Structure formats: C-alpha cells, structure tokens
C-alpha cells in the first residue's frame, strides 16, 4: 500500500502519524510512505529522522478574529492545495492519513478532491479546527476518546480507535528506566513531567515542595524540568535542599522506559501522554495546560477523572503544598492506586494502530 501521512505543529499530531506509518510497514514491508508537512514545523526534523520521505507545503492557521492575515491564510491554503495535488499525483497514494495541525487542511482536502480515500485521526476530546473542517470531506475519522464520536455529525464514518502512540510504551523493557537514572531495581518512582518543553507553573510548584519531599517516604521523585528551566530550577532547589529523594533532569530521551517503571505520574494532559499513561495502567495526577485551543487538555483530563483513572489539579489551584498533599495521599493509599490503575487500563486501546490499519485496508478496498 502507498500511504501519505500528514500532520504537524506539535508532537501530539506528528507522532501518531509516524506510529501509523511504522505499523503499516511492520505488517507489510512493501508499504511506501510519504509525509507531507511544513518546512518550519517540528515535523521537518522529526520525520526525516524516522527515515520517512518528507515533502513540504506552506500553510498557516486562521486567526480567531477577522483580520488581513486570514485573507493571506486563504491564499496560502489555495496554494497549498495546488502543491498538495501535485505531490499526490506524483506519489499516487492508495490512502491519505491526516492527524491534525494546519498542514492537514490542504493535503486532505486535495486528496478528497482527487478521489483518494482519506482517514483523519483526532487525538483530543475536543476536536481541532482543522479536523472539524475536514470532517465533511474525509472518508473515515478515528477518535481517541469515545465521547468524541458525536463531535463529527457530518462525517461519513467515525470509529473509536484510540491513539496509536500507546504501542511505543508497551514495547519498553521493565527495569531499564530505573537503570538509566542510576536507581536500584525496585525503587518506587513518582514521575513529574510538564511536557517536552516543561511548564513554568509546575517548576515553581516542585521548587516549593522540594524541601518536604521526605513526606513521600520510600518514593523517589523524578522531575523533568524542560531544557529552558533546568539550570534555574536546579540552582533554586540546591539552595533550598531536597536531599536524596529528588532526581532532576532536563529531558528524557527514554520517556517510555521511565514511564514503564513509574508508580505514579504527574503530568499535563496532552492526548499522547494520556494514551501512554492508560496503556500502562498508571495512576496519575493531571494538571491541564490552560493555554491550549478550546481548553481541550482539561476535557482530556476529565475523561480519565470521570472513569476513576486520574485525579485533576487545575493550574489555578496548583502550588507546592497542594501537589505534595495530593501525591502523599495517593502514595499512602495502595487500594486507591490499584483501583486507578485498573480504571486506566480499561480506557486503554492497546491495538489502536491495528484498528487504524484495518480502517485503511477497508478504504483501499473501497476504491
């Protein structure tokens, strides 16, 4: 099968597309891939590193208020459609897969106009603007949250597929995460992470609670600061003193392995993070970023909270004391932790990539 992948802007859009492409190549080594993204988005770096051919289309997003810039965006969109049609005619894909981000707009729209079967994947509980626009043109929509199916009333077909990035953490070998951190086997680990770039509010909270981490008896805290916050956070914590109970790192290249060895996760609630957390059945404290479109991270988080798989801490209520108290209470209540773990696993879709692969096969047959 020949497949065009498209999605960009954030890792939350890029990695699901890459996961689908890699899965298709695993089940059929003759699968040919082409990724269409933007030249200035992180996909231009991530995708070639995965040995997937990459082509660029230039596009920007719409402003939410009327402006001259939106007129320019419409012109860019039309040029992007023309460029996409040329790339599609040259590559001759059997199906086009879009995972969100502005670049999906012209690519999937162009595919639909050329009569090429299209599949779009929505990672968040509240759909993004691009996927909402494309829903009337796509042949099939896969969603990561069951409640999202009703968000696409004009779609031809919608199914609950889960998020394909979950398969990565399931392949992680237990024990390797602890080993990479220089911690002995059997260490009880609480992982705190504010996303790939870090989160200022979470850094401030961890700095505040650092001197009191001894309250989490028997638990080692690993805090991923984000590169830009690492040096300042490290210096302030050294001044306050956190003892032997805290490991500070700027970034984790082996996040899947460390997640696999964690007992509790404190995290933002991006769709990919939640897919990994539920796949491993990890109890979590979720602190949604308030600085995202349509506040979709809070909607993502509440999906887990309502199922009993996580606890919610809004950023407006976040402090070192509130976070430490929540962590301490959970870590002392093994019965609650076990119940949350079971609830998380019931939300997981470990065969997400396989579900999407089957949908793509059916689309290819329908040509």
| Integer angstrom CA distances of residue 98 from 10, 104, 120, 242, 304 | 13, 6, 5, 45, 25
- What 3-state DSSP class applies to 136? coil
In the block, tokens 């290819």 appear at: 364
CA distance 11 to 29: 25
Smallest CA-to-CA distance from 108 within 133, 129, 126 is with 133
Smallest CA-to-CA distance from 279 within 350, 193, 191 is with 350
- What 3-state DSSP class applies to 312? strand
- Two tokens, residue 17: 């597309």
What string of DSSP letters covers 43-59? HHHHHHHTT--EEE---
Q: Is 196 annotated as a binding residue?
A: yes
Q: Is 150 annotated as a binding residue?
A: no
Q: Is 124 annotated as a binding residue?
A: yes
CB neighbours of residue 51 within 10 Å:
9
CB neighbours of residue 114 within 10 Å:
14
Q: Is 278 annotated as a binding residue?
A: no
What are the binding residues for UDP-N-acetyl-alpha-D-glucosamine?
10-12, 124, 196, 297
What are the binding residues?
10-12, 124, 196, 297
């Amino acid at each position: 099968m020949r497949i065009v992948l498209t999605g960009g802007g954030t890792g939350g859009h890029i990695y699901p597309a890459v996961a689908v492409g890699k899965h298709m190549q695993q089940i059929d080594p003759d699968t040919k891939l082409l990724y269409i993204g933007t030249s200035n988005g992180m996909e231009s770096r991530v995708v070639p590193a995965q040995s997937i051919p990459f082509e660029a289309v230039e596009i920007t997003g719409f402003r939410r208020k009327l402006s001259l810039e939106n007129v320019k965006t419409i012109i860019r969109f039309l040029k992007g459609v023309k460029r996409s049609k040329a790339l599609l005619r040259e590559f001759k894909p059997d199906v086009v897969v879009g995972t969100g981000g502005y670049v999906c707009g012209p690519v999937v729209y162009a595919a639909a106009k050329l009569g090429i079967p299209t599949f779009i994947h929505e990672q968040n509980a509240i759909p993004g603007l691009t996927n909402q626009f494309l829903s009337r043109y796509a042949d099939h929509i896969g969603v990561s949250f069951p409640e999202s199916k009703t968000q696409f009333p004009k779609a031809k077909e919608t199914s609950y597929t889960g998020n394909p990035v979950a398969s990565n953490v399931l392949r992680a070998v237990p024990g390797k995460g602890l080993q990479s951190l220089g911690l002995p086997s059997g260490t009880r680990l609480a992982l705190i992470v504010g996303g790939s770039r870090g989160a200022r509010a979470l850094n401030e909270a961890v700095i505040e609670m650092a001197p009191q981490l001894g309250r989490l008896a028997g638990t080692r805290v690993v805090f991923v600061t984000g590169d830009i916050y690492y040096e300042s956070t490290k210096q302030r914590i050294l001044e306050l003193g956190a003892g032997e109970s805290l490991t500070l790192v700027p970034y984790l290249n082996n996040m899947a392995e460390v997640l696999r060895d964690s007992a509790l996760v404190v995290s933002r609630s991006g769709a990919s993070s939640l897919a990994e957390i539920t796949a491993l059945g990890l109890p979590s404290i979720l602190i949604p970023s308030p600085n995202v479109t349509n506040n979709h991270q809070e909607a993502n988080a509440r999906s887990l909270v309502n199922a009993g798989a996580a606890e919610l801490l809004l950023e407006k209520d976040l402090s070192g004391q509130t976070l430490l108290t929540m962590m301490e209470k959970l870590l002392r209540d093994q019965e609650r932790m076990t119940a949350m773990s079971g609830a998380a696993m019931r939300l997981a879709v470990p065969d997400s990539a396989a579900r999407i692969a089957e949908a793509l096969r059916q689309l290819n047959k329908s040509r």
